[in-house]
Chains A and B, each alone.
Chain A
């Protein structure tokens, strides 16, 4: 009635060692489940973690007002900074208000030996990096660019290769040219 203990253990071991029948589609199903899982997220960088951690900030009404006033002033200064960049182009039209829509004006110059040409003037703070000109063709000597301008009078010049100044032969020369290299003048009419 009692079987031998070693036989019982042996049968249990045989049962456990029997080959398992696995559904051939299992791999596919497992991989499909894995791809559906959200991508694992690495540890957040310290700064991001610090910035995104929720905090409770307590403010007195006076403190909140001061912070709000600071934000308003900051927004005002930022807008002034932004508008400052536009003032060069809008300068001449300032008397007529921002309502004066700037019109796009083409500038063309002939510079056969130049490798780069910039347009500088009252509308771009005389900054040679601001308005680079483009060759019309691959080997062309004609350089061109367009600039939006409000009505007014502008002084400008072309700078070839960062060193050679060229006046615009199609425009009047600026008379009050105290600095040596010539400048030209463009008058933009309003409505």
Chain B
């Protein structure tokens, strides 16, 4: 065998095995589930959707010993939500934004809120979308949560948004209704901004 062949062949073999190992995490899935999951993830990747959230959801299902059908249903739903988020946020949305947007849509936020957030906030939308989702998960009505986040998103940074969410959760834990807690929290966050820090939407009047 010529020396060059001796050098290149092992390199190519190593290269091929390394490439095949890229999705080795999915080997934790049952063999009969792995093939359709890999197919779905490849399709999503071909469509320009981020694969990592789908991989993580599949791994969550595997760790929780969910059946193959359940995992596939969850992945199809998530892929649909990721597609919806991309439609609402635009093609330039980052994988993290798409993932957070998909969760927001699943929580009940309308796509128009995602699009409006994209228009009003120049920074990443990952945290505002995550806060929106968490508020809805805490019991805040989707439209109230969307209004509060839209009002704050253009003017406050990520840590203030997270702090706003914590404040809402505290108020809910103390007995406030989720809607009122969100409204009060947004009001407090707005009033704590420096004078002249405008650019976002006005906080809507509190619903009775």
**Residues of chain A whose beta carbon lies under 8 Å from any beta carbon of chain B:** 57-60, 63-64, 66-67, 70-71, 73-74, 77-78, 80-81, 84, 87-88, 91-96, 120, 122, 125-128, 151-153, 155, 159, 165, 172-176, 178-181, 183, 185, 187-191
Contact = CB atoms under 8 A, between A and B. Distances in A.
A93 B96 contact: yes
Most buried by A among B73, B77, B124: B124
Interface residues of B, number: 60
Contacts of A81: 18, 21-22
A120 B59 CA distance: 10
A189 B162 contact: yes
Nearest to B59: A126
B93 A179 contact: no
Contact of A96 (B14, B71, B124): B124
Contacts of B71: 179
Contacts of A58: 3
A57 to B, nearest CB: 5
A71 B11 contact: yes
B118 to A, nearest CB: 12
B15 A74 contact: yes
A63 B127 CA distance: 51
Contacts of A77: 15, 18-19
B4 A92 contact: no
Interface string B52-94: 1100100111111010001101100110000000000000011
Contacts of B53: 91, 122
A74 B180 CA distance: 57
B134 A125 contact: no
A70 B15 contact: yes
